[in-house]
Every structure is written in C-alpha cells, then in structure tokens.
Amino acid sequence: MDNSLRISHEKELNLEATELRLGLPGSDEPEKRSVVRSNKRSSPEASEELECMSKGNMNSNGSDVTSDHDQDNVVPPAKAQVVGWPPIRSYRKNNLQQKKGEEGEGSGMYVKVSMAGAPYLRKIDLKVYKSYPELLKTLGNMFKCTFGEYSEREGYNGSEYAPTYEDKDGDWMLVGDVPWNMFVSSCKRLRIMKGSEAKGLGCL
Amino acid sequence: MPRLAYSFPEEVLEHVFSFIECDKDRGSISLVCKSWYEIEAWCRRRVFVGNCYAVSPATVVKRFPKVRSVAIKGKPHFADFNLVPEGWGAYVFPWIKAMAAAYPWLQEIRLKRMVITDECLELIAKSFKNFSVLVLTSCEGFTTDGLAAITANCRNLRELELRESEVEDICGHWLSHFPDSYTSLVSLNISCLGNEVNLSALERLVSRCTNLQTLRLNRAVPLEKLANLLRGAPQLVELGTGTYSTEMRPEVFANLAEAFSGCKQLKSLSGFWDVLPSYLPALYPVCSSLTSLNLSYATIQSSDLIKLVSQCESLQRLWVLDYIEDAGLEVIAASCKDLRELRVFPSDPFGLEPNVALTEQGLVSVSEGCTKLQSVLYFCRQMSNAALDTIARNRPNMTRFRLCIIEPRAPDYLTREPLDAGFGAIVEHCKDLRRLSLSGLLSDRVFEYIGTYGKKLEMLSVAFAGDTDLGLHHVLSGCDNLRKLEIRDCPFGDKALLANAAKLETMRSLWMSSCLVSYGACKLLGLKLPRLNVEVIDERGPPDSRPDSSPVEKLYIYRTVSGPRLDMPGYVWRMEDDSALRVS
C-alpha cells in the first residue's frame, strides 16, 4: 500500500539496515532506509508526517525524551513504520484502537495533570493510551511516583499516591473505576493526590 | 492371473474409499492404477484447493463430478499484513460459476483470503438446493445484501461463519431474512460485522434454532442483551460475546451470571471487546470446562486476566494480549496443564518502549509447565538464545512455533549475538516442527540449522534475516517437506533461487518481497519452468523499463497445472515460458 509509486534506485544490500539498528529500525523499503530523521527530538513537523498510529508513540515517548535513557541521543522518538511489521492483521490493529469518533479524530485529547507539591502542571494526550496501565506508567514516570495496585474495593490503598480525575459533572473520581473508553470520554483533568487525600474517593 | 483391481466390484471399492478422508491418502489411492483413479474420482466428496490458481475450476469439476464440499484458498499469507496490493486477484466467481453448473448438490463452501461478491453469494443461494455450510475466512468483496440472499434462500443452511472478513455493512436486516420456519442453524459467526444486526430477529432466531452450537456475536451487540440470548440457547458450545462492558449494575450482573450458569455445554469463549473487569466474574461458573478462550481483544490488566484464566483448568487454547505479562503466564503454566496452543498478541505493537512486563520468561514458563504445548504465536520485545534453547528442550513436541520479536533484527538481549543458536535449538529438538516463523537478528547460520534439522518443516516465514544467498540455499536444499516459503526484506538474490529452481515445483508457493531477486532471474525462472507461474509484482511500472539486473519489488511463484492466470492486475507481470514465446 504505502510502497506504491515510489521511484527506486538500485537497492542497497539490506545489511545497511544493521548499521542503522540503533537508529530507525526499518522503513518502508530498503532504498528508503537512508531516510533517517535528522531531528533528534520529536517536533510537530515530524509528527505530522507519521500516520496516526505512530503519532501516538511520538507523544508517549515525548516524556521519555526527558527521562534517562541510554538511547536518548541516538534514537529519534519518531519511528517510521515498516509496512506489514510487526505482522498483525489490520482488523486486530483497528480493534485495539479506541472506538473512533468519540472524541473527534486526530485532534488529540490533552488534559492538564497536576500533583500536590509540584511547581507546575503537565499536559498529556489521553488518546495515545489504550489502557490504564499505560497511562499510569506514564504518569508515574512524569511525576516520579508510584501508584500501587488498583483494586475495585480498595482503590490504590497502600500506595503513596493515587491518580484521580475530574469528570464531566465536576466530580473528582478515582482513576480506574470505569471502562477505559468511558474514562477517556469523561475525563476533564487529572490530579495526583496523596494516598491519604484520595481515601474518600470512588468508594462503592 | 486375474488382476486384484478387477476382483472387487466398483461399489465395494467405492465403499472402502469412502472411509478415506485425508486428501493426501486420496491422492495416493488415485495413483494406484487407472481404475482406482476413476473410482476414487467418482466418489470423492470433498476437494481442497490450496491455491486457487494452481488448478482451474474446469479441471476440478471434470475430474471430480460428485463433489459435495469444497475448500479454496486464494491470496498469499502475507496479504494479511498489507503486502499484497489491492486487486491482486483470488476471485471466487469462476469457481462458483463452474460449480453451479456441475454440482447442483453442493453443500459446503469454505474460502480463505478470497474475493467473493454479492453476485457470487446470490449465485450460491440460487444454484445449490442443499447448501448448508458457508465459511468465509479473511475474505472481502461482499456486503450484507449478499448475506441476505443466503439467509433468504438457503433453507438447509447450517453454518454461516464470517471470520475476520471485510463486509460492507449496509443493513442489519439481512439476518431477518431467515424465514420463521427456519430452524436448522448450527453455527453463526458475525464477529467481524461493524454495524448492529436486528437484535430481536437474532433473539428469535437463536431461540428457535435448538441445534445451535456456535454463536459468535459482533461488537455491536450490547452486554445487556447477552443474557437473553444465552437463555435462548443454553445448549451453546461456543460463544463469542459482543462488547463486554456497560454501566455496572448489580441486576445486569446477576442476570448475566445466571444465564452463564445455565450454559452447561459451553467450551469456547471469545469476543470480549471493551471489557469491564467487574463483569468477568459472571463467567466463573463456566471457566472450569472451557477448552478455548480468546481474550485477544480484552484490554484489561494482568491481575484481572489472571483471576479468570487461573480457573480455566481444562484450557487447551488461549489467545490473549500481552497484558497477561510474565506473571500471568506463570500462573497459566501452573493452572492450565492441558494447554496445547498459546497466542500472545501485542497491545502496543508500534510503541518503542515496552508497555507491559512481558518478556521471553513468560514463554519459558509456559513451555515448562504445559507439557502438551505444541502451537505458539508469541509477540515480545526481547529474546535470548538461552531462552529459546530451554523452550526447545522443554517442548520437543512443538509443531508450530511463531515468534515475533517486535524490533526487526533484535539480537539476543543478553549476549548481543544473533539468535541463530536459539532457533537452531528449536528445529533440532522439535523434530515434528511443521511451521516456523523467525524474527530477531539472524545470520545465514540459522538457515543452515533449518536446512539440516527442519526435515518436517512445511511452512517457513522469514523477515529481516540472513546475510547471503547461502541462507536461502540451505532452506531450499535441506527442507524436504517445504510447501510454503515466505520471505521479506532479506538479502537473498538470484543465485540460490536459480540453483534450486527445481525445488520450486515441489512447493505450493514462494513469496519474496523487498529482497534482491533480479528481473532477469525472474524471466529465466519463468522461461525454464513452465509448470510454475512466476509473477512479478511491481508498482513502479513495467519491469522492462528497468535493467534486467534491477531487483523486483515482490515475487510470487507457485506451481500450477492450469497455465497463466487471466485476471492479473496491471502491476503483476507473469514471466513467460518457452511455449508461450513459440506460439506468439
């Protein structure tokens, strides 16, 4: 599909790809392998060139760019997608994405994230995450905190911090109680509360 | 001396042959002598065509005049991953047309990766009075209008399964076209349909078809409706839910749990889109008798998955997302002692960083604890030779092993070496291995192992691997039972292919894309091997406009007895053989 209508040169041996292993892992065709993204940090321009799927990765890795990572300076956060790799059927890929059309395509769903004691707020795009574990992992990295295990009865009991959110009705809810899709469509902002503060929330 | 073949009346031989179902055995029978060939052909009831272009419909109906059941496969496997452009072919219409004329008593049609139009469906509905089974796997080209033709006309329909097919969903009322008097449905799979079907029609259908064993719903069926459907079919053996979440309401939950407890025969569950974990306990009553569980759409956390799967002590097949994590797989290794097949799919295939704690360790655990494990499809982000070696030694009974390390050319994460030794261990110890998919950093070495040990290997999938033509040569010269070989993005060129050209006639097909096979070599192969169709797929325009040494984009070679196909799209070029050139 994406291979179509590209002018190709003599193909270089695919061995070149091995050289670029620390860089882009692969691209649409061997002759395009030389197209390495020169900007090492994610940028709005680079993100626009990518398809929706990898756009998500861009943003979720944006936070990684600021964290310690030994590939930080070598791997551009953007990843050019190789056609048909990993080998997953499209109906499966589509089904992993959230139901379309609920938030409006392509616009991103940025919500503010605050934390008690932090000097400034952050913003994250809820659309790039597909589940609670992913979201909580990012929040944990962003604010250097842990949440412990969620249980319906006890919430995040026992952990130092608990993720909460303000929903459409203006109520503060515990993150994790409702199905993911429902959460994304009703979450207006996030707040990481101290465990002790969060105790009254979301109890059935 | 009277010949043995004539000492039995035909009817007796026919009766004897009727016990032989396996295609391969039927083929052997037909080679014994001319009369056995004829008798066998006359009484063959099922035909399997592994490649729709390997033989023509006319040839099939001529040889086997009394067929009741047909199965046909079309596009190459890599079409699943968008490597085959639109309009490539695999149209079933010529088959339906030929069979409509030749097989008025045809009962079953099973298609995989084929294009089937509404016109075809209408022709089926019109032509086969006893039509009872339609299974379309990974097919496309039709709409719900075509389905309406089937449901309205096929009085004896027993199975209607749309597995992972692309259906244009025009109207949900196709299901209502089953007449009220129709009660013979045994199996209904609509899981791939995008839109709602008429739910009340579905409920009535389900409750009046008392032989219904399989019901796979689509995502659009709300969870609140599931209990009613189950009550209408407590005899169900296989169920695919619709969306598995709704607002948490105790009465909905109780209703659902009760409905599930009423299904005493339930062995297989699937569906589970949008799971709300609090509804999972409704399944607990049926868990211990489940043999098959497909949770590959359930985006729920490891702990919830574990709570469910740990109760499924009879499980033989499990499909799950990598949210199961290593911890979950350890539990499975301890609880699911009857497991035969495991598939772990990636929840975030395009992310650069692992989003879950799933590593090679999970697979190692299962290989240790599940002694009957023989079929694996595993997506992960790291692998080691040591782990593969352990898995191989644990499970010499492995028959299908497909490993996808998400990063192309990823080395052994512990030693940074290629994974040659690890996969080598797999082929060496798993002597009955029939299917293998490779990934990770691999040199020509791994192919040497495969050629040496992979004697039973029938299908091999290779991506981003190898160094030189020697790799391909090892496989083509060593794997005696190879039927299907598919390769992408490997530095394999002309030499191995030309040196092993004759091997290609013993295989069903060879696919190579983004490799280094030149146009000249393709032409040569086409020229010298008239029993092969050598098709070059190139969307850059005619290969003649480029030098002979220029590598082709994609190459699909398959053996055939029916000569060139006549339905190739503009970007497919068939390499002509000698005979064609002489005639023109």
Helix, strand, or coil (residue B110)? strand
In CATH, what number is assigned to the domain containing residue B22?
1.20.1280.50
- Which chain B residues are within 8 Å of A83, Cβ to Cβ? 81-83
Q: H-helix or E-strand containing B167? A: strand B166-168
- Which chain B residues are within 8 Å of A15, Cβ to Cβ? 467, 491
Query: Could you give the angle at the alpha carbon of B166 between the alpha carbons of B162 and B167, nearest 5°?
Result: 75
Predicted local confidence at residue A76, as pLDDT: 44
Q: How confident is the model at residue A38 (pLDDT cuts 50, 70, 90)?
A: very low
Rounded distance between C-alpha atoms, residue B185 and residue B175, angstroms? 12
Which has the minimum average pLDDT: A23-27, B137-141, B321-325, B330-334? A23-27
Q: Would you say residue B245 lies in a domain?
A: no
Answer whether residue B135 shows pLDDT above 80.
Answer: yes
Predicted local confidence at residue B5, as pLDDT: 54
Provide the sign of the torsion angle of the four alpha carbons B51, B52, B58, B63, taken in this order.
positive
Predicted local confidence at residue B506, as pLDDT: 97
Answer whether residue A45 shows pLDDT above 50.
Answer: no
Query: Could you give the angle at the alpha carbon of B36 between the alpha carbons of B33 and B18, nearest 5°?
Result: 150
How many folded domains does chain B comprise?
Answer: 1
Interchain CB contacts (distance < 8 Å): A and B = 140
Q: Does B85 touch chain A (CB under 8 A)?
A: yes
* Inter-chain CB proximity B404 and A86 less than 8 Å: yes
Under 8 Å between Cβ of B291 and B267: yes
Q: Does B536 touch chain A (CB under 8 A)?
A: no
Q: Does B258 touch chain A (CB under 8 A)?
A: no
* Inter-chain CB proximity A87 and B404 less than 8 Å: yes
Question: Buried (b) or exposed (e) across B409-440, using 16+ Cβ within 10 A?
Answer: bbbbbeeeebbbbbbbbbbbbbeebbbbbbbb
Q: Does B351 touch chain A (CB under 8 A)?
A: yes
- Which chain B residues are within 8 Å of A86, Cβ to Cβ? 346, 349, 379, 404, 406
Answer whether residue A46 shows pLDDT above 70.
Answer: no
Identity of residue A84 = G
CA atoms within 13 A of residue B102's CA, in its CB half-sphere: 20
- Nearest C-alpha in B relative to A57: B351
Predicted local confidence at residue A130, as pLDDT: 83
Answer whether residue A52 shows pLDDT above 80.
Answer: no
Answer whether residue A81 shows pLDDT above 50.
Answer: yes
Contact partners, residue A115, CB within 8 Å, separation at least 6? A143, A145, A161, A191, A192
Q: How confident is the model at residue B200 (pLDDT cuts 50, 70, 90)?
A: very high
Predicted local confidence at residue A95, as pLDDT: 74
User: Nearest Cβ partner of B346 from A86, A89, A132?
Assistant: A86
Predicted local confidence at residue A97, as pLDDT: 63
Q: What is the mean pLDDT of chain B?
A: 95
Predicted local confidence at residue A149, as pLDDT: 82
Burial label for B1, CB within 10 Å (0-12, 13-18, 19+), is exposed
Predicted local confidence at residue B137, as pLDDT: 98
Predicted local confidence at residue A69, as pLDDT: 40
Rounded distance between C-alpha atoms, residue B134 and residue B113, angstroms? 14
* Inter-chain CB proximity A134 and B348 less than 8 Å: yes
Answer whether residue B516 shows pLDDT above 70.
Answer: yes
- Which chain B residues are within 8 Å of A89, Cβ to Cβ? 80-81, 138, 164
Predicted local confidence at residue A196, as pLDDT: 75
Q: How confident is the model at residue A152 (pLDDT cuts 50, 70, 90)?
A: confident
Q: At what angle do helices B420-429 and B385-394 cross, to 10 degrees?
A: 10
The residue ranking higher by pLDDT, A18 or B126, is: B126
Under 8 Å between Cβ of B441 and A14: no
Average pLDDT over residues B369-390: 98
Between positions 512 and 531 of B, the ones with CB within 8 A of A are 514, 516
Q: Would you say residue B521 lies in a domain?
A: no
Predicted local confidence at residue A25, as pLDDT: 47
CA distance A114 to chain B (A): 23
Rounded distance between C-alpha atoms, residue B274 and residue B307, angstroms? 17
- Nearest C-alpha in A relative to B547: A10
Predicted local confidence at residue A179, as pLDDT: 86
Under 8 Å between Cβ of B116 and B136: yes
* Inter-chain CB proximity B297 and A95 less than 8 Å: yes
Q: How confident is the model at residue A21 (pLDDT cuts 50, 70, 90)?
A: very low
Rounded distance between C-alpha atoms, residue A90 and residue A187, angstroms? 29
Predicted local confidence at residue A68, as pLDDT: 40
Candidates A96, A137, A142, partner chain B, best to mutate (most B CBs within 10 A): A96
Which has the minimum average pLDDT: A43-57, B174-188, B454-468? A43-57
Which has the minimum average pLDDT: A107-121, B40-54, B85-99, B541-555? A107-121
User: Nearest Cβ partner of B323 from A17, A99, A133?
Assistant: A133
Closest CA to A28 of A9, A58, A11, A3: A3
Percentage of residues of chain A with pLDDT beyond 90 = 7
* Inter-chain CB proximity B540 and A5 less than 8 Å: yes
CA distance B169 to chain A (A): 15
Rounded distance between C-alpha atoms, residue B64 and residue B39, angstroms? 10
Average pLDDT over residues B291-314: 96
Average pLDDT over residues B331-346: 98
- pLDDT digits 0-9 by tens, B417-460: 999 999 999 999 999 999 999 999 999 999 999 999 999 999 99
Q: How confident is the model at residue B583 (pLDDT cuts 50, 70, 90)?
A: very low
User: Nearest Cβ partner of A81 from B350, B353, B491?
Assistant: B350
Q: H-helix or E-strand containing B450? A: helix B444-453
Answer whether residue A53 shows pLDDT above 60.
Answer: no
Under 8 Å between Cβ of B347 and A96: yes
Answer whether residue B574 shows pLDDT above 90.
Answer: yes
Closest CA to A195 of A115, A98, A111: A115
Q: Would you say residue B13 lies in a domain?
A: yes
Answer whether residue B232 shows pLDDT above 90.
Answer: yes
Distance of CA A54 to the CA centre of its chain: 9
* Inter-chain CB proximity A91 and B164 less than 8 Å: yes
Residue B5's domain comprises: 1-44
- Which chain A residues are within 8 Å of B75, Cβ to Cβ? none
Between positions 135 and 164 of B, the ones with CB within 8 A of A are 138, 164
Predicted local confidence at residue A137, as pLDDT: 87
Percentage of residues of chain A with pLDDT beyond 70 = 51
- Nearest C-alpha in A relative to B554: A3
Q: Would you say residue B241 lies in a domain?
A: no
Which has the minimum average pLDDT: A91-100, A135-144, A180-189, B232-241? A91-100
Candidates A131, A137, A142, A150, partner chain B, best to mutate (most B CBs within 10 A): A131
Under 8 Å between Cβ of A174 and A155: yes
Percentage of residues of chain B with pLDDT beyond 90 = 93
- Which chain B residues are within 8 Å of A99, Cβ to Cβ? 274
How does strand A172-174 pair with strand A161-167? antiparallel
Predicted local confidence at residue B580, as pLDDT: 52
* Inter-chain CB proximity A90 and B488 less than 8 Å: no
CA distance A162 to chain B (A): 17
The residue ranking higher by pLDDT, A68 or A137, is: A137
Q: Would you say residue B410 lies in a domain?
A: no
Answer whether residue A9 shows pLDDT above 60.
Answer: no
User: Nearest Cβ partner of A11 from B86, B350, B551?
Assistant: B551
* Inter-chain CB proximity A91 and B85 less than 8 Å: no
Q: What is the mean pLDDT of chain A?
A: 64
User: Nearest Cβ partner of B409 from A18, A83, A95?
Assistant: A18
Under 8 Å between Cβ of B448 and B413: no
The residue ranking higher by pLDDT, A19 or A137, is: A137
Average pLDDT over residues B461-473: 98
* Inter-chain CB proximity A95 and B81 less than 8 Å: no
- Which chain B residues are within 8 Å of A75, Cβ to Cβ? 352
SS (H, E, C) B182-242: CCCCCEEECCCCCCCCCHHHHHHHHHHCCCCCEEECCCCCCHHHHHHHHHHCCCCCEEECC
Answer whether residue A70 shows pLDDT above 50.
Answer: no
- pLDDT digits 0-9 by tens, A125-151: 888 888 898 899 889 888 888 888 888
- Which chain B residues are within 8 Å of A6, Cβ to Cβ? 540
Rounded distance between C-alpha atoms, residue B548 and residue B120, angstroms? 41
Can you tell me the ipTM of this complex? 0.90
Q: Does B224 touch chain A (CB under 8 A)?
A: no
- pLDDT digits 0-9 by tens, B384-410: 999 999 999 999 999 999 999 999 999
Predicted local confidence at residue B55, as pLDDT: 98
Predicted local confidence at residue B98, as pLDDT: 98
CA distance B547 to chain A (A): 10
Percentage of residues of chain B with pLDDT beyond 70 = 98
Q: Would you say residue B5 lies in a domain?
A: yes
Answer whether residue A105 shows pLDDT above 80.
Answer: no
Between positions 380 and 409 of B, the ones with CB within 8 A of A are 404, 406-409
Predicted local confidence at residue B352, as pLDDT: 83
- Report CA-CA distances (Å) from B503 to B73, B469, B507: 22, 15, 7
Answer whether residue B273 shows pLDDT above 50.
Answer: yes
* Inter-chain CB proximity B350 and A64 less than 8 Å: no
CA distance B332 to chain A (A): 21
Burial label for A94, CB within 10 Å (0-12, 13-18, 19+), is exposed
Answer whether residue B579 shows pLDDT above 90.
Answer: no
User: Nearest Cβ partner of A64 from B301, B353, B408?
Assistant: B353
Average pLDDT over residues A74-92: 74
Which has the minimum average pLDDT: B92-96, B165-169, B315-319? B165-169
- pLDDT digits 0-9 by tens, B145-178: 999 999 999 999 999 999 999 999 888 899 999 9
CA distance B77 to chain A (A): 11
- Which chain B residues are within 8 Å of A127, Cβ to Cβ? none
* Inter-chain CB proximity A79 and B404 less than 8 Å: no
Helix, strand, or coil (residue B356)? coil
Average pLDDT over residues B277-302: 96
Q: Would you say residue B333 lies in a domain?
A: no
Predicted local confidence at residue A103, as pLDDT: 37
The residue ranking higher by pLDDT, B226 or A177, is: B226
Predicted local confidence at residue A199, as pLDDT: 63
Identity of residue A57 = N
Predicted local confidence at residue A80, as pLDDT: 63
SS (H, E, C) B287-349: HCCCCEEEECCCCCCHHHHHHHHCCCCCCCEEEEEHHHHHHHHHHHHHHCCCCCEEEEECCCC
Q: Would you say residue B67 lies in a domain?
A: no
Answer whether residue B353 shows pLDDT above 60.
Answer: yes
